Amino acid sequence: MQVNGHFASKLDPLGLDNRPPNPELDPASFGFTEADMDREFYIGTELMSGFLATDRPIKTLREILERLRQTYCNTVGFEVSWPGAGVRILC
């Protein structure tokens, strides 16, 4: 989502955009099925800040994907990078 989320972003207020969905944004491309959506994963965010920070370090795949979509595939976003630093911050 971090790299290709912009392909699913909502940039067309008139609904004229007919782009096909990017297969890399489909969990099925990575072998996940609907049965996996409620599977829980430890994401280790107790001591973290940022978009996945939460008081609950275990999330379902459905919750993780929804948060990633909100962050990388929505209507507003920005990217900050420092040339030559090798560090990228995506918000």
Q: What whole-number distance in Å separates Cα of residue 67 and Cα of residue 44?
A: 15
Mean pLDDT by 10 residues, the chain (91 residues): 81 81 90 95 72 74 89 70 59 54
Q: Please state the domain count of the chain.
A: 1
Question: From residue 86, how far is each of 3, 18, 75 by CA, in Å?
Answer: 16, 35, 27
Report yes or no: 14 and 37 within 8 Å, Cβ to Cβ: no
Please give the pLDDT value at position 17. 80
Question: What pTM, to 2 d.p., does this model score?
Answer: 0.66
Burial 57-66 (b: 16+ CB within 10 A, else e): eebeeebbbe
Quick one: pLDDT at residue 53? 65
Range of the domain at 14: 5-90
AA letter at 51: F
